[in-house]
Every structure is written in structure tokens, then in C-alpha cells.
């Protein structure tokens, strides 16, 4: 037995049949781990490169915003003044830079206005201008406006080239002359083919047109490009008007398509690909669910949305951007902001726009400006935002000066401050007072509209004397109006760049602004574009 034990203990153990497999597995795992670490290093390098690139873009954009806001800050009192108080608060003397004011007072009104328009329209070089103070003022303001730079702001052609680079196909333009104003027809003709091309690039299933109650954009996306579209608006009157108009366009579409020389590779739509919905859009509005409700044939499908808006008024623009950020169904956004005075800003207190009042949105903590974390605490003011809604390009192109009614309103304020200093004036009642031939006619109509009961007491002589006394201020008011207008697109630049920075801060590299429309035809001419 001892020998058997020795024999057993001394005999070499048989190799395990699993040993080679175990070694191979270990070698394979080691190789995979090494590969994984290499891939992680590459991913880390790419992430670092991406973050550095984003940090660089954000830093550059922040520097641009710093430059613009530093320029604007000293002029905020001028931008936030009320023109109705031009005389009573002495805006010309208290808010206009003294050297600029003195340089202009040596001209008569016609000379000064012509000089302003010639400089603003780039018809004069510095060497040809005698009034270098005015020239420097206009050019300095112009230099702080948003410019096409190929990075933050693209031209229309650059945007088209980017779509092609992404693999998209540019669409033909469609111009509808009937049932739209010339301005609206131009905007739809320009924007619709870009929306349709983006829809292809992003492979979205539907387009949601925020604030598109009149249906200008969806009807063309449907009939011209076969894009299922949903117009969402909180204005029932606009929605009903849009539905009536679109029924007419559907009937006329074959002739419209023929007039436009469209080549169709499909059956002309019967107008069933666009729908209308009455709702108020916030960042929490579940647009994907609304689309499924209105396109029941897609109720069981995954929807991917392109959120657009040809004129996203006030807080609607920021709400759309926040919805794009938070809702996975929205894969791209392309909207045109407008009505900046309807934006909410902390400085406004409880002043909410008419849409928000009607829908009890006054408690929403998300302000329309600023959106970016970087500009938190920065304030523009409502009148400055109102100014941003105007267009110096259009005014200069048409050589427009303010109507006499603006001066008459300032004169009316003198009378009210004198005789009824505590009277609250509902400005909306004065908007109907147009094309008055004289101040006396204006005052008589204003007296009736506001229930002042002053016209029969003050007399015609008083009104004539008052007009003569402040005639010089009429000249000053026209110049002040034009000088103040130089800041309009500078303020707008801050609002637009703030939205772009917000998108960058939230990690969206494919975000930019587009100079979409001719500002002399469509003053709110920039689009905000972002893709996931």
C-alpha cells in the first residue's frame, strides 16, 4: 500500500484539459482591456478637444457680449426713456451726449437729417464728413452690431452650404402672391425651403410651427414639400383666420404650383398634412404628445420634431429653446425671434405680456432675458427691448422720420403735467389718433379719447402758443429719435447672442444664428438654429 501511495504521489499529474483555454481567455481579456484603455484615452482626448473647442467658442462669445454690453451701459438711460416725456423731462439736454448735441445744433433740421441718413447709409467716408462727432457716433454704434462671421452668425448662403455639408438637399423656393402680404410672402419663400431641407437632414417626422396660427409656413411645407406640419398658437382668432386662408390656398394650389414652375415627383397634396392646435407653449408643453393627438396615424410611432417659428413673439422664443433643451422628441430648432418688448425680464417686476396674463403664466420663474448663465443679473429694460424691435436699416433705407404725432404726444404730455399731473394715461387709446393735420386737431381727439375735459377750457390760442413755444423741440425730437435708433440692433444683438450662449452652455455645438431676411424688408431678420 505504501508503494501504491508513493507511486501515486510520485507520478506526474495529468494536465488539465481547461488550462490552454484559460490562458487563451486571459490573453484575450488582457488584449481587450488594453484596447479598451486605448479607446478610453482616445475618447478622453476627443472629449478634451471638444470641451476645449466649446470653451474657446464660449470664451470668444462672452468677450463679444462683454464688448457690446460695455458699450451699451452708459446709454441705457437714453434707451429706456419714454419719448412722450421728451419735452417734460428734457431728454435732448439731459440724455444726448453734450458734444454730439452741440455739433448738431448748428444745422437746420433738413441739413442735420440728410447728414444723418448719408452717414448711416454708408454714403460718406470719414474724410468727406465735416461733423466727425456724428460720424463717429453712428459708426461706433454700427461696429457693435451682430455681424456675419461664419461662426456665430451665418449668411443665408453659408447656412445653405452647411445644410449641403450635412447631407441635405436644397429645395426650390415657392412664392405665394395670393392671400399673403408681400412681406409675408417673401419670408415664407425664404424660410420654407430651409425648414424642409433641415427636416431631411435631421430625419424629423413632423414640423411644429410655434406661434404659427395663421398657417403661412405650414401650408407651404405641406403642399410644396410634403412636410407634415402642426401650427400651434394661443390666439384662436389667428387660428380660425389661418384655417380659412389655407382652405383657399389648397383650392388654388395647382395654379400656384404651375405659376411657380414647380416640378413635382409626387401627387399634389390635398392639404391634409398640416393641422392647427390651440394651446399656449411653455418649455413644459409636451409637443410630441400634441403631434400624436393631431396625427393619429402616428400615435403609435416615435416622433422626431423640428420646432420652428417664423415670428416667435416675446417669451415664445425662449420657451421654444428651453423645450428643445428638455424634450428628447425635439431634435432641431429653427425660429425667428421678434417683439422683444414682450420678453419678461426681472427688472419688469409684475409686468407680463398680454398672452401670459391671459393664460396665468405670470408666476413662471424663467425670464425671457437673459437666458444664459453668464449674463445672469444683467438688465436691459423694457424700453430698450422695445427699441430693439425697431429697425434702423429700414428707416435709413426709406429715409423715414417720425410722424408729427410723436411731437404732438410730447406736447400733450406738457398739458397733462400742467393741468392734470396725477392723471393716469392709457396709451392704447391714443394709437387710433393718426394723420392729424394740426396739434389742435390731435389735442381735441386726445381730449375726447382720454376724457380729459380740457379742450373747451384751454382755448385755441393756448394751443397755438404752446406749439410755437416748443417748435424748436420738434427739431430736437426728430434728431433724438434717429440717434436713439442707432442702438436698436445693438440691443437686439445682445438678446440674440445671449440665446446662442445659452445653447453653448448646455452643450449644443451645432448652434448658430442666421442672417435670414433682408432687414429692409423684414426687420426681424435673424434665425436661431440648433441641432441635437
Mean pLDDT, residues 511-524 = 96
Residue 168 domain-assigned (yes or no): yes
Which tens digits make up the pLDDT trace of 157-177? 999 999 999 999 999 998 888
For 160, counting Cβ atoms within 10 Å of its Cβ (0-12 exposed, 13-18 middle, 19+ buried), the class is middle
With a cut of 60, say whether residue 20 has pLDDT above it.
Answer: no
DSSP codes, 499-526: HHHHHHHTT--SEEEEE-S-TTT-SS-E
Please choose, from the candidates 244, 243, 212, the residue with its C-alpha nearest in 3D space to the C-alpha of residue 230. Answer: 212
Which spans in 260-391 are helix H? 287-294, 316-326, 354-358, 382-388
Residue 42 pLDDT level (bands cut at 50, 70, 90): low
Judge contact between 511 and 500, C-beta under 8 A. Answer: yes
pTM score of the predicted model: 0.86
Residue 410 domain-assigned (yes or no): no
Which tens digits make up the pLDDT trace of 58-117? 999 999 999 999 999 999 999 999 999 999 999 999 999 999 999 999 999 999 999 999
Cell numbers describing residue 421: 399731473
Residue 362 domain-assigned (yes or no): yes
Residue 392 domain-assigned (yes or no): yes
- Distance CA(486)–CA(465), nearest Å, equals 33
Residue 2 domain-assigned (yes or no): no
- Distance CA(335)–CA(322), nearest Å, equals 13
Cell numbers describing residue 223: 403642399
Residue 202 domain-assigned (yes or no): yes
Domain count for the chain: 1
Q: Which of 127-131, 139-143, 251-255 has the highest mean pLDDT?
A: 139-143
Dmax (CA) for the chain in angstroms is: 144
Q: For a pLDDT cut of 70, what percent of the chain falls above it?
A: 87
Q: What is the pLDDT of residue 28?
A: 75
Rounded to 5°, the CA angle 221-223-228 comes to 50
H or E stretch including 224?
A: helix 216-225
Could you tell me the residue range of the domain that residue 179 belongs to?
60-73+146-398+486-531
Q: What is the pLDDT of residue 352?
A: 45
Q: What is the pLDDT of residue 122?
A: 83
Which tens digits make up the pLDDT trace of 252-296? 887 776 666 554 444 455 667 889 999 999 999 999 999 999 998
Judge contact between 434 and 445, C-beta under 8 A. Answer: no
Chain centroid to CA 175: how far?
Answer: 23
Judge contact between 205 and 298, C-beta under 8 A. Answer: yes
Q: What is the pLDDT of residue 211?
A: 93
Q: For a pLDDT cut of 90, what percent of the chain falls above it?
A: 69
With a cut of 60, say whether residue 358 has pLDDT above it.
Answer: no
Report CA torsion sign: 336, 120, 399, 90: positive
Residue 247 domain-assigned (yes or no): yes
Amino acid at each position: 500500500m505504501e508503494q501504491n501511495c508513493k507511486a501515486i504521489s510520485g507520478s506526474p499529474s495529468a494536465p488539465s484539459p481547461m488550462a490552454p483555454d484559460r490562458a487563451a481567455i486571459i490573453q484575450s481579456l488582457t488584449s481587450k482591456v488594453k484596447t479598451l484603455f486605448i479607446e478610453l484615452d482616445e475618447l478622453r482626448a476627443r472629449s478634451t478637444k471638444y470641451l476645449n473647442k466649446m470653451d474657446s467658442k464660449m470664451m470668444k462669445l462672452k468677450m463679444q457680449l462683454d464688448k457690446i454690453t460695455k458699450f451699451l451701459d452708459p446709454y441705457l438711460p437714453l434707451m429706456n426713456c419714454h419719448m412722450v416725456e421728451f419735452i417734460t423731462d428734457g431728454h435732448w439736454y439731459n440724455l444726448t451726449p453734450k458734444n454730439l448735441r452741440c455739433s448738431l445744433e448748428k444745422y437746420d433740421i433738413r441739413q442735420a437729417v440728410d447728414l444723418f441718413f448719408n452717414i448711416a447709409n454708408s454714403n460718406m467716408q470719414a474724410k468727406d464728413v465735416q461733423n466727425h462727432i456724428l460720424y463717429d457716433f453712428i459708426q461706433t454704434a454700427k461696429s457693435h452690431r451682430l455681424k456675419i462671421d461664419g461662426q456665430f452668425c451665418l449668411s443665408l448662403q453659408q447656412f445653405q452650404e452647411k445644410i449641403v455639408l450635412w447631407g441635405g438637399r436644397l429645395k426650390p423656393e415657392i412664392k405665394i402672391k395670393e392671400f399673403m402680404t408681400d412681406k409675408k410672402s417673401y419670408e415664407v419663400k425664404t424660410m420654407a425651403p430651409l425648414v424642409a431641407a433641415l427636416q431631411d437632414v435631421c430625419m424629423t417626422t413632423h414640423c411644429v410651427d410655434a406661434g404659427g396660427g395663421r398657417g403661412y409656413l405650414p401650408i407651404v411645407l405641406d403642399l410644396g414639400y410634403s412636410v407634415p406640419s402642426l401650427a400651434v398658437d394661443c390666439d384662436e382668432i389667428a387660428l380660425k383666420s389661418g384655417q380659412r386662408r389655407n382652405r383657399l390656398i389648397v383650392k388654388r394650389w395647382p395654379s400656384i404650383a404651375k405659376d411657380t414652375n414647380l416640378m413635382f415627383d409626387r401627387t399634389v397634396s390635398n392639404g391634409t398634412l398640416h393641422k392647427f392646435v390651440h394651446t399656449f407653449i411653455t418649455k413644459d408643453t409636451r409637443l410630441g404628445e400634441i403631434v400624436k393627438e393631431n396625427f393619429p396615424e402616428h400615435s403609435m410611432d416615435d416622433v422626431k420634431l423640428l420646432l420652428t417659428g417664423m415670428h416667435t413673439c416675446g417669451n415664445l422664443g425662449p420657451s421654444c429653446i428651453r423645450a428643445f433643451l428638455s424634450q428628447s422628441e425635439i431634435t432641431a430648432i429653427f425660429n425667428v425671434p421678434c417683439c422683444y418688448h414682450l420678453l419678461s425680464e426681472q427688472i419688469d417686476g409684475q409686468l407680463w405680456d398680454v398672452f401670459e396674463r391671459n393664460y396665468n403664466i405670470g408666476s413662471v420663474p424663467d425670464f425671457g432675458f437673459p437666458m444664459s448663465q453668464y449674463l445672469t443679473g444683467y438688465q436691459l429694460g423694457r424700453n430698450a427691448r422695445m427699441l430693439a424691435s425697431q429697425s434702423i436699416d429700414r428707416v435709413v433705407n426709406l429715409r423715414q422720420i417720425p410722424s408729427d404725432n410723436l411731437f404732438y404726444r410730447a406736447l400733450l404730455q406738457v398739458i397733462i403735467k400742467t393741468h392734470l399731473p396725477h392723471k393716469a394715461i392709457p396709451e392704447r387709446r391714443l394709437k387710433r389718433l393718426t394723420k392729424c393735420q394740426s396739434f389742435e386737431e390731435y389735442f381735441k381727439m386726445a381730449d375726447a379719447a382720454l376724457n380729459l375735459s380740457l379742450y373747451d377750457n384751454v382755448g385755441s390760442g393756448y394751443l397755438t402758443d404752446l406749439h410755437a413755444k416748443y417748435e424748436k423741440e420738434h427739431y430736437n425730437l426728430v434728431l433724438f429719435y434717429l440717434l436713439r435708433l442707432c442702438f436698436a440692433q445693438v440691443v437686439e444683438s445682445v438678446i440674440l447672442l445671449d440665446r446662442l450662449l445659452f445653447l453653448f452652455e448646455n452643450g449644443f455645438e451645432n448652434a448658430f444664428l442666421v442672417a435670414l431676411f433682408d432687414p429692409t424688408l423684414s426687420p426681424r431678420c435673424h434665425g436661431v438654429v440648433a441641432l441635437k
